[in-house]
Amino acid sequence: MILENNAYTVQGVRLLDIAQEFGTPVYVYDADKIISQYHRLIKAFKGSKIKIKYAQKALNNINVLKLLREEGSGLDCVSIQEVLVGLKAGFKPADILFTPNCVSFEEISQAVDLGVMINIDNISTLEQFGHKYGNTVPVCIRINPHIMAGGNSHISVGHIDSKFGISFYQMRHVGRVVKSHNMQIVGLHMHTGSDILDAEVFLQGAELLFDAAQDFADLQFMDFGSGFKVAYKVGDVTTDIESIGQRIVKKFKDFCKNYGRELELWFEPGKFLVSEAGYFLVKTNVIKQTTSTVFVGVDSGQNHLIRPMMYDAYHHITNISNPSGTNRIYTVVGYICETDTFGWDRQLNEVREGDVLMFHNAGAYGFTMSSNYNSRLRPAEVLIHKGKAHLVRKREELDDLLRNQVEVF
């Protein structure tokens, strides 16, 4: 996104024109940015057999999935529905990793039947899996390295109290189950949470996986999850992917030498690939001066972008209708009937009723976490690809709210 001739544009397309043509609220994605982030990651880990498994839950539009598949990406799925959508997007089963948590064994069996790689995150499932499949279906094991990481307790998933993965301290038990059923363990996985800033966190976790690896002779890959932090506001500390990348590659190569075989190095980022590529456009309905602040009330709410209220996340806001207006202080809120604040005390170019505001970093966990709360319709999605804006999801209609309701009176 750049400001040229007093207009914000993506690949030469004016964002204000998109609001005009497709209406608001609307999610807009920059395909070029997604692709360049993908290649930045591949490059950061050059020298290794790097494989990226895009975490679909961040942004699940099928066009985005196809775009990443074309670039060579695999897919990380957390539900059988994500697996099915991934297959529909053309991913080969072998390129899909299924990393569920607390799902039924039935769902896991279904994924096995579809031919995707299963990532097992508890010993109960591991036992059932061994009992049913023995050594006929290779699997990956999710290990919890008990590292406190991540910017927020909701997204920090590798610590001691976390429900995710099999504890590092239970590896002997895992070894017994694997041996009894003659299971074929081809991958070890860890995912310590989102917003990791410190290379040391990755490397500490990696060391634990390297230790654990000594007990498994059939490994083909190691998956270090995700958690690369991107900038949400000016001056934010972000993951220095280029330097972290080469440090990890070096450690990994040393490990592989010891292990006796070169393994694939997997990551499964969501946010890193799609967050900055997304913009969420809303229209100002009301300017409301109270005794304490000036509220800007927009035609959206936490039902469409829940991260500010749920994770206390900062999303930068720009008034794209008035780029050269005088800066003033506003509190930007939604139209939901409970407190839904997008941002307190934001300096925006003077906002007038009807102005279009843009939320930055809206690519990840924006649309995918939206709901129909207050019987509001979910927004449209637009993908800008090769300098052209494409509608990739229609705005919902009233029928969508009623479709599955059964009228009994």
Ligand X SMILES: *Cc1c(COP(=O)(O)O)cnc(C)c1O
Q: Which residues bind ligand X (CB under 6 A)?
A: 55, 57-58, 76, 78, 99, 191, 194, 225-227, 268-272, 364
CB of 76 to ligand X, least distance (A): 5
Q: Judged by CB, which is closer to ligand X: 35, or 282?
A: 35
Residue 337 known to be catalytic: yes
Q: Judged by CB, which is closer to ligand X: 86, or 334?
A: 86
Q: Judged by CB, which is closer to ligand X: 57, or 251?
A: 57
Q: What phi, psi does 82 have (nearest 5°)?
A: -65, -35
Q: Judged by CB, which is closer to ligand X: 48, or 56?
A: 56
342, 366 contact by CB (below 8 A): no
CB of 403 to ligand X, least distance (A): 29
CA distance readout (Å), 38 to 241, 269, 271: 12, 9, 11
CB of 67 to ligand X, least distance (A): 17
CB of 225 to ligand X, least distance (A): 5
Q: Please name the residues in contact with 145: beta carbons below 8 A apart, sequence gap of 6 or more.
A: 158, 165, 168, 190, 192, 204, 205, 208, 209
Residues 37, 174: Cα–Cα separation, whole Å: 36
CB of 133 to ligand X, least distance (A): 22
| Angle at the Cα of 243 from the Cα atoms of 241 and 244, rounded to 5 degrees | 60
Residue 365's closest CA among 299, 300, 308, 301? 308
Q: Judged by CB, which is closer to ligand X: 192, or 284?
A: 192
| Angle at the Cα of 125 from the Cα atoms of 121 and 131, rounded to 5 degrees | 140
72 token code pair: 């060579």
Residue 334 identity (one-letter amino acid): G
Closest residue to ligand X, Cβ-based? 270
Instruction: Give me the catalytic one of 77, 102, 256, 337.
Output: 337
Which of the residues are catalytic?
337
